[in-house]
Amino acid sequence: MKQLFQKGLAASALLTLVIGCASPAPEDSATQSQEDAGEVSQEDAGVVNVYSARHYDTDEDLYGRFSAQTGIEVNVIEGESDELLERIQAEGENSEADVLITVDAGRLWRAEEAGVLQAVDSAVLNDSIPESLRHPDGLWFGLTKRARVLVYNVDTVDPAELSTYEALAEPEWEGRVCIRSSGNIYNQSLLGSMVETIGTEATEAWVEGLVGNLARDPEGGDTDQIKAVAAGQCDVAVANHYYWARLAKSDDAAEQEVVAKTAVFFPNQDDRGTHVNISGAGVVANAPNRDNAIAFLEFLTSPEAQMVFAEGNNEYPVVEGVEVEPIVAELGTFKVDEVNVSSYGSHNAEVVQIVDRAGWE
């Protein structure tokens, strides 16, 4: 069973709103305050409290499946990643949060740096999830995988022209590239991975060349970049693969036209591989239901859960051998950059300085 609390609460309510059922009738004002807040005793072993930045109906289906299999009730608070992190920090030792789920390794790194996660040593998680897709010390674990690909206009670009991210900085791509703002965490994580693999100097040179080749100032999200390619505003864009897959599954005629005019290319196949990121989760430092939290994460790496979890956003499973959603499968297999995703956030401060110097808005 799933209990969902809406986001957007006033800051003053953050420390008082918690998950669960009301306490028995109070005997004093302190008890009355706890009852009004709806607190759950930390001794309650029948729940797991999840703070999630993922907002997909299929995730809710997974929570129900976990409850049906284990008898553990899943209580969920949804919000944006930064909002949830700030909430856990504000709640401190009184937080009812057991699990934090968020998207992008860069955001998981922020949670790690804030000290809100605890190390978990689980043979199930360590055996199921590739080493590159989990924190070296078990602070968080990848649950789904997304590739940052090149989307090109099929009428103006021969795929033989495409090769690597780095090549987009070459003179032949001047005025032909679209990419969203450098403030976007997906781009920052891409650059973090490049700093880790090719070094700071080479990464900065690439960013300078990329900025010089932009067809327009960065605007909008990944879907907007793909639509700009289809509209002829640029010839190639950098985007997460699932944005193109969403358009491919759409019943909207205009979006189908976008798909017909574009195609996906996996860069860097002859060297380190295509950059991938994750959505992932960790056990919160003061988790009142730690064992249930670990059981919940282990469930999310089961083949059944991986298939549902990945399909919810047209992502790739992190567990080997799990089927990929058909539209995504049609994109083909590709070589993955196996640099540990934990490096993305660790280079973030350096990345911000690089893009500022290069004038990438």
Q: Residue 219's CB: how many other CB atoms inside 10 A?
A: 12
Superfamily of domain 146-274+335-358: Periplasmic binding protein-like II (3.40.190.10)
Sorting pLDDT into bands at 50, 70 and 90, what band is 56? Answer: confident
pLDDT tens digits, one per residue of 77-129? 999 999 999 999 999 999 999 999 999 999 999 999 999 999 999 999 999 99
Asked: is 2-145+277-324 a CATH 3.20.20.140 domain? The reply is no
Mean pLDDT, range 23-38, rounded to an integer: 34
Helix (H) or strand (E) segment spanning residue 30: helix 29-37
pLDDT at 312: 85
Residue 251 has pLDDT above 90, yes or no: yes
Mean pLDDT, range 312-334, rounded to an integer: 95
Distance CA 175, CA 163 (A): 18
pLDDT at 40: 37
Q: What's the burial of 92, exposed, middle or buried (CB within 10 Å: 0-12/13-18/19+)?
A: exposed
Query: Which region holds residue 340: left if phi is over 0, alpha if psi is between -120 and 50, else beta?
Result: beta
Which residues on neighbouring strands pair with residue 2, listed in sequence order?
Answer: 74
Domain pair 2-145+277-324 / 146-274+335-358, same fold: yes
| 117, 111 Cβ separation under 8 angstroms | yes
Residue 161 has pLDDT above 60, yes or no: yes
Residue 328: both structure tokens together? 């995504």
pTM of the model as a whole = 0.86
DSSP 318: S
pLDDT at 19: 37
Least confident of 16-25, 130-139, 150-159, 309-318: 16-25
Residue 351 has pLDDT above 50, yes or no: yes
pLDDT tens digits, one per residue of 130-153? 999 999 999 999 999 999 999 999
pLDDT at 58: 85
Which residues on neighbouring strands pair with residue 117, listed in sequence order?
Answer: 284
Residue 341: both structure tokens together? 């995703």
Per this entry, what is the length of the chain? 361
pLDDT at 235: 98
Mean pLDDT, range 232-252, rounded to an integer: 98
Distance CA 118, CA 302 (A): 22
Number of H helices, E strands in the chain: 15, 11
Chain-wide mean pLDDT for the chain? Answer: 89
Helix (H) or strand (E) segment spanning residue 109: helix 105-113
Residue 13 has pLDDT above 50, yes or no: no
pLDDT tens digits, one per residue of 172-183? 999 999 999 999
**What residues does each domain of the chain span?**
2-145+277-324, 146-274+335-358
